[in-house]
């Protein structure tokens, strides 16, 4: 098995697959907390809001991760579900949690092309919003324009896929959780590395594709494996992956892509619609799988790629 470039392995799976050790196991020292700032920019005729998390210390220029919330969520929910701010404080990178749009700013969503809600129906130009947000933050903060990344869950994951398609000149890698590519046309101008995480028992975005049992809009989603194969071909990665398994987690890594691009697909057998290792998305949402620490895995993945 080719492990060149992979993170250090624990029990056959990369660092971060299991949950982090408790404070008692690693000591009680904790990093200082960063600062959350509620900010906004005007894009077109819309005032767009976002939450910016600034770490307490960082080496300039620092990386930036955009974390996109699910349909009906918001910036603070994305921060709570992902736990990305704590990781930013420990590693010294910036996090932006943008807000989608909704009627009278309620039930926010992203226009991912085929989903979802108000943003799709109103044809909100969310790609323009994220492009403008990246440009604004790179200009106003000590951020490395070559280390900009996008992650998201559900509708936010679908939007992350779309950003990979349309903002590959600005985004080096994406990490969608529980969401597949729905854009009818996807032709990135540059290679973009992709890390996908998906549970096989997801009732909203089925791992095998089709209509989810819990969806209400009649949407038909592509399968996770089909979307991974698309990115493998797009990035000209090797067609045969390196496979690693531990418990319910199966990881397929397609390496050797153009300009060092790679595609990783983490499959959680029996996993639901949730951010693994994070917080529950909503009161009656699926419990996150404890076997995989998605935020840890993402940072390790993003750290290996730059534009």
Residue 29 scores a pLDDT above 80: no
How large is the average pLDDT for residues 112-123?
A: 94
Confidence of residue 283 (pLDDT cuts 50, 70, 90): low
Half-sphere exposure of 32 (CA within 13 A, CB side): 8
Of 183-192, 232-241, 255-264, the poorest mean pLDDT is in 183-192
Phi, psi of 198 (to 5 degrees): -150, 140
pLDDT > 70 fraction of the chain, expressed in percent and rounded: 89
**What average pLDDT is seen over the chain?**
89
CATH 3.30.457.10 fits 9-23+32-303, yes or no: no
Residue 97 scores a pLDDT above 90: yes
pLDDT digits (tens, 9 = 90+) for 121-138: 999 999 999 999 999 999
Residue 1 scores a pLDDT above 50: no
Confidence of residue 30 (pLDDT cuts 50, 70, 90): low
| Dist CA 268 CA 118 (whole Å) | 31
Tally of CB atoms within 10 A around 187: 9
How large is the average pLDDT for residues 108-120?
A: 94
| Dist CA 292 CA 307 (whole Å) | 27
DSSP string of 48-73?
EEEEEEE-S--PSSEEEEEEEPPTT-
Confidence of residue 10 (pLDDT cuts 50, 70, 90): very low
- Do residues 287 and 266 make contact, with C-beta atoms less than 8 angstroms apart? no
| Dist CA 206 CA 214 (whole Å) | 10
How large is the average pLDDT for residues 211-228?
A: 86
What pLDDT score was predicted for residue 295?
98
Domain ranges within the chain, ordered by starting residue = 9-23+32-303
Q: 126-140 vs 155-166: helix axis angle to the nearest 10?
A: 70
Task: Name the pTM for this structure.
Answer: 0.89
Confidence of residue 211 (pLDDT cuts 50, 70, 90): confident
What pLDDT score was predicted for residue 213?
75
pLDDT digits (tens, 9 = 90+) for 65-91: 999 999 999 999 999 999 999 999 999
Tally of CB atoms within 10 A around 250: 16
């Amino acid at each position: 098995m080719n492990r060149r470039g992979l993170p250090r392995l624990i029990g056959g799976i990369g660092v971060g697959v299991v949950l982090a050790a408790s404070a008692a196991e690693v000591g009680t020292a904790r990093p200082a907390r960063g600062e959350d700032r509620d900010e906004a920019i005007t894009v077109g005729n819309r005032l767009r809001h976002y939450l910016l998390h600034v770490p307490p210390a960082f080496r300039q220029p620092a990386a930036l991760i955009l974390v996109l919330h699910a349909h009906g969520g918001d910036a603070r929910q994305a921060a709570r579900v992902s736990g990305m701010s704590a990781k930013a404080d420990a590693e010294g990178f910036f996090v932006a949690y943008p807000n989608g749009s909704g009627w009278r700013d309620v039930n926010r969503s992203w226009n991912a092309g085929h989903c979802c809600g108000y943003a799709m129906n109103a044809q909100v130009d969310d790609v323009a919003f994220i492009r403008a947000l990246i440009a604004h933050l790179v200009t106003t903060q000590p951020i490395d324009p070559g280390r900009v990344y996008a992650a998201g869950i559900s509708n936010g994951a679908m939007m992350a896929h779309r950003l990979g398609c349309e903002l590959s000149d600005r985004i080096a890698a994406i990490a969608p959780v529980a969401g597949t590519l729905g854009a009818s046309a996807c032709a990135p101008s540059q290679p973009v590395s992709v890390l996908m995480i998906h549970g096989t028992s997801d009732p909203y975005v089925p791992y095998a594709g089709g209509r989810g049992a819990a969806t209400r809009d009649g949407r038909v989603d592509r399968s996770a494996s089909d979307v991974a194969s698309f990115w493998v071909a797009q990035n000209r990665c090797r067609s045969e992956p390196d496979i690693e398994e531990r418990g319910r987690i199966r990881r397929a890594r397609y390496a050797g892509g153009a300009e060092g691009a790679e595609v990783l697909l983490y499959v959680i057998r029996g996993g639901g619609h949730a951010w693994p290792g994070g917080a529950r998305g909503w009161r009656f949402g699926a419990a996150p799988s404890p076997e995989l620490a998605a935020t840890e895995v993402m940072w390790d993945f993003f750290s290996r790629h730059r534009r």
